[in-house]
Structure 1
Amino acid sequence: MTHSNQSSNRQVRPQQLKVGIRWDFQNVYLSEEQARLLLAFAITKGSLISTRVYYNSLFETQASAKEKLQRIGFKCEDVTCSLKNSADNQLKSDLIDDVYNNHSPEIVILVSGDGDFANLVKFLQEKGIYVIIFAQRGNVKQRLKELADEFHFVDELPQFVNNKTQPQTTYIEFQINYNEAIEYLIESIKTSLSQGKPTVFGYIDKLMRQRCHRYQGFSSISMSDGKKFKNFSQFIDAAISDAKVKKQGQELFLIELDKLAA
C-alpha cells in the first residue's frame, strides 16, 4: 500500500527538482522490467541526474545483473567486500559526500527496506532532501517506512507509470561530446585544487562523474569522428595536445591558471 508522510512540510515541484536513485541491490532485487519502471517513475518526479545501484560481484546472482542494468541506464557500483553491510556503507558514504559537496539531488529515491538506512534518511531530511523509499513486501523495517516522505512497494511501480510509456523511453543515453568532457575536466581540476586535493587521474575522473551524470568514464565520451577513447589517459593526452591542460608527474594542472600567474 502506498504511504505518504503527511507530516512533511517540504513541497515537491517535480519540474524544478533534481532526482537521484540509490539502490541497494542485495536488499531489493528488481527484474529488468521493474528497473525500467523505476527509471520511468523517477523521471515523473523531476530531472533524473544519477542512477546508482550498489552490488557485490562476489555473488554470482548480483554480478549477472550488471550488464542489463548498465544497458538501461544504471551506474553499477561494485563493492567487493565480504564484510557485512559493506555495500550499504558505501551507499551511505557516497550520498553523504554528495550532500557535503553540494552534488546531492533534491529528491532521493532509496530502493531498500533495510532499517540501517534510518539515520541516513533523517540526515537527508534535515538537509531539506525529499526521500522516497521503495521496498519489497515482507522485507522492510517499520521505522524506515514511517520516516519516508513517500513509501511504496516495488510491485506498485506499474501503477505510477503511464501505460503509454514504452521501455525504450526510459533509456538514458550516457554520452557526452569531447568539448563537454573538456569543460568538466577543467571544472574538476579547479575544484580539486580549491579543495587542496591532488589532481591525480582517479580523483579527477570521480569529480567528473559527480558533475555530469551522463559522463560514465572515458568510454562515454563521443568524439566527432565517432571513435572512442581506449582509456582515461588517452583522453588526457588529447586534452594536453589541445593545450587545455598540462601534466606534471601524475597530476593535472590548468594552462589558463599559469597564464594568469605570469
Structure 2
Amino acid sequence: MIDFDNVTMGIRSDLQSELRRLLQSDIIKGKVAVQRAYADWRRYPQYIVPLSESSIDLIFAPAHGANKKNATDIRLAIDALELVFTRPEIGTFILLSGDSDFSSLVLKLKEYGKYVIGVGIRESSSDLLIQNCDEYYSYNELAGFTKTSDVEYVKRDPWELVVEAVKQMTAHNDVMRSDRLKQVMQEIDPNFDEKDAGFSRFSKFVIEAARRGLITL
C-alpha cells in the first residue's frame, strides 16, 4: 500500500523500471497480492501510466479543504483495515510511507496478527513509524539506489545544490515539499548533509535558502 503523497518517486526518468526493481526486491517479491497507490491523482498525472503498467491500482482520494493530505491517509487506513476482514489470508502488509500518522494503523494491524513491513525514505521517515513496523527498509536500498562507498562524489555547494534540485523538481512537475527537496538534493549529491552547512535541522536550512531568495516557501 503506497502513500504516494509521502513517497514521491519523482525525478527519475524511468519510473516504471524503478517500480519493477522495487517490487521484485527480496523483501517484497512474492508477497504482494494487493497493490494500491493512494493520492489525488490530479496532482500526479505524469505517474498514472507508469504505475498502471506496473499493475498498481490507483486509488483516487481527492483533496478538499485545509487538511488535504488527510484524505489520502484516511482512505489508505480504511482500506487496510477492510483487507484484514475481507482478505484474511493476507498475513503481511507492506506500507510505503514514512508518515507518523500511520503509526496507529501499524499497531492496529499488528493487533490483528498481521506482519507489517515499512518502506520509505529513511532520512525523512518518522522514528515512531520505523519503531512500530516489524521491519523497515530504505526505499533507495530496495530500488537499487544505495550510496556505495566505492563511488567518489564531489561535494557540492549546498546553495547551488538547492537551486539545481528545485530546477529538476520544477521540470518534472514534482511535489514541492521540504522532505522531497532533501531527497532530490541527496540524489544529486549523496554527501549532502545540512549539518555540514551549519544547520541542526533541514527545516532551518530551507528557511535560510528562502531568505537568500533561492526558494519560495
Q: Same fold (TM over 0.5)?
A: yes
Matching of residue 67 in structure 1 with residue 49 in structure 2 = yes
Q: Shift of the alpha carbon at 1:141?
A: 0.6
Correspondence for 1:169: none
Q: Pick one of 36, 39, 49 that aligns with 2:33.
A: 49
Q: Shift of the alpha carbon at 1:127?
A: 1.0
- Greater Rg by CA: 1
Distance 1:44 1:133, change over 3 A: closer
Q: Distance in 2 between matches of 1:145 and 1:42?
A: 19
Correspondence for 2:20: 36
Q: Distance in 2 between matches of 1:38 and 1:102?
A: 24
Q: Shift of the alpha carbon at 1:149?
A: 0.8
User: Which structure has greater strand proportion?
Assistant: 1
Superposed, 1:1-262 pairs within 5 Å as: 22-30=1-9, 31-41=15-25, 46-59=30-43, 62-82=44-64, 83-103=68-88, 105-158=90-143
Q: Distance in 2 between matches of 1:123 and 1:68?
A: 32
The answer on whether the counterparts of 2:118 and 2:136 sit within 8 Å (CA) in structure 1 is yes
TM-score computed with the length of structure 2 as normaliser? 0.58
Q: SS of 2:38's equivalent?
A: strand
Instruction: Provide structure 1 residue ranges, at least 5 long, that are not aligned to the other structure.
Output: 1-21, 161-262
Q: SS of 2:140's equivalent?
A: helix
How high is the sequence identity, in percent, across the aligned residues? 30
Give CA deviations for 1:169-203 in whole Å, capped at 9, x if unaligned: xxxxxxxxxxxxxxxxxxxxxxxxxxxxxxxxxxx
Q: SS of 1:128's equivalent?
A: coil
Q: Distance in 1 between matches of 2:27 and 2:124?
A: 26
Q: SS of 1:86's equivalent?
A: helix
Q: Distance in 2 between matches of 1:127 and 1:134?
A: 20
Q: Shift of the alpha carbon at 1:86?
A: 0.6
Q: Distance in 2 between matches of 1:77 and 1:32?
A: 18
Instruction: Provide structure 2 residue ranges, at least 5 long, that are not aligned to the other structure.
Output: 10-14, 146-217
Give CA deviations for 1:2-22 in whole Å, capped at 9, x if unaligned: xxxxxxxxxxxxxxxxxxxx0
Q: Distance in 2 between matches of 1:137 and 1:102?
A: 30
Q: Shift of the alpha carbon at 1:88?
A: 1.0
The answer on whether the counterparts of 1:56 and 1:63 sit within 8 Å (CA) in structure 2 is no
- Aligned residues, how many? 137
Q: Shift of the alpha carbon at 1:37?
A: 1.7
Distance 1:44 1:65, change over 3 A: closer
Q: Distance in 2 between matches of 1:151 and 1:89?
A: 22
Q: Distance in 1 between matches of 2:70 and 2:60?
A: 13
Q: Distance in 1 between matches of 2:126 and 2:91?
A: 24
What's the C-alpha RMSD, in Å, of the aligned pairs?
2.1
Q: Distance in 1 between matches of 2:17 and 2:93?
A: 21
Q: SS of 1:80's equivalent?
A: coil
Q: Distance in 2 between matches of 1:44 and 1:97?
A: 21
